[in-house]
A and B are shown apart, each in its own frame.
Chain A
């Protein structure tokens, strides 16, 4: 599932909300920067792997596993995307 527009154009937070909503089974508007994966979105470790796979496919990036270990909130993921989007 690749999307060259997402890989090249300006980052749209609503897109990330949509992906997280679909994968985690929550309403998109619950996906906010300060929201914790585990505590607020009921995302366990397997859910998180699924989310990262979808994000990697959509934005055409690779998230190294040790980066993933530091991510506790949507905001952490969003920051990483903004810093690294475009690196494959």
Chain B
């Protein structure tokens, strides 16, 4: 399926060129938490979207009736559709669908409303609270605002959500249920409760005095992931339809693979077997041999266990090619966008192949001996890659792998 549009609202920039500028120069978007007062928290850093004005993308009434993740999602969706040149409002109502995911949905509004409930009872809760909370509303909102009436829902698999969204959206087109899909993810989970919850399981980095160095996948001194917010949405389109209208084709989703670890709520299978299976399925369905893969965008969250498990998974799948393939984790710069991470990282693959430059894993100063692959340390590297893999693994053992092909020039 052709990727004909990309929209991004992220801690490393809003829009394709600002985001690429950050990825190609190794610029981190991590800083102190400002969305709430985190002064008592063990972790006081995150990747926030700076200066987001929802009224640039929707009217004030709509902005007030959707939670922040919905605002970010609609903004990214508008940008993606504009980038694609597709006009859903001029097409048949069934032709363009939406699968936009979120892991935590309207968490910010839930917490605010809960305070209100305890302080003043239900009569002060907004009548829009129910639709605001739920994780499917971004997809519904996008359909309303962009006039896209095809299949419409969110796919939820924690940190793999938007990878699954893209993979599944491609399948919707492949089986003929839509001509194009608006697909991706959005997350706005930098909230007192969600950050606190991750703190309680010691999942987050505590490198508060040096925020841009905190997300350090595969480095010996990594101490947990850095939470981020943002939205990344793409337009996927049936290939012939895209070519007929002369669309710019950024890349192609060739196939996806999905599996479960069957292991633990939060820890990955330490041997990476579930992840390896998802990657192997994706490669088989794409008809791609391991030695044809030029770049892997790792899930690489900068956790002690996850980075090792993923390294093992890559070795299992890639075999002899494992030490030759370039692997990098752009979470080193973006932080972990949770439900939007999969789409963010698929976009990084697309741009890397388009621009012939692999984004680095920054902060890789003291390589962990157990993580011994080529992680494109610290500096972007020129490379011509035809096929890339994007890995996303979520709490609960959800594994997703996308095989992405370079666009035709």
Which residues of A line the B interface, CB within 8 A? 22-25, 45-47, 49-50, 53
Contacts and interface: CB of A to CB of B under 8 A. Distances in A.
B170 to A, nearest CB: 35
Interface in B370-398: none
Contacts of B52: none
Contacts, number: 19
Q: Which 4 A-B pairs have the closest CB atoms?
A: A25-B61, A49-B127, A46-B127, A25-B60
A31 to B, nearest CB: 14
Nearest to A44: B127
B60 A50 contact: no
Interface string B225-245: 000000000000000000000
B59 A25 contact: yes
A4 to B, nearest CB: 18
A16 to B, nearest CB: 17
Secondary structure at chain A's binding surface: helix, strand, loop or mixed?
A: helix
Given A50-B126, A53-B123, 6 more contacts: A23-B61, A25-B59, A25-B62, A46-B128, A50-B127, A53-B126
Interface of B: 59-62, 123-124, 126-128
Contacts of B123: 53
A29 B62 CA distance: 21
A24 B61 contact: yes
19 contacts: A22-B60, A23-B61, A24-B61, A25-B59, A25-B60, A25-B61, A25-B62, A45-B127, A46-B127, A46-B128, A47-B61, A49-B127, A50-B126, A50-B127, A50-B128, A53-B123, A53-B124, A53-B126, A53-B127
B326 to A, nearest CB: 49
Secondary structure at chain B's binding surface: helix, strand, loop or mixed?
A: helix
A51 to B, nearest CB: 10
Nearest to B63: A25
A65 to B, nearest CB: 10
A23 B128 CA distance: 12
Contacts of B61: 23-25, 47
A60 B60 CA distance: 25
Contacts of B62: 25
Contacts of A49: 127
B57 to A, nearest CB: 15
Nearest to A43: B61
Contacts of A22: 60
Contacts of B127: 45-46, 49-50, 53
A85 B5 CA distance: 54
Nearest to B125: A53
A25 to B, nearest CB: 3
Contacts of B60: 22, 25
A47 B124 CA distance: 14
B300 to A, nearest CB: 43
A49 to B, nearest CB: 4
Contacts of A47: 61
A47 B127 CA distance: 8
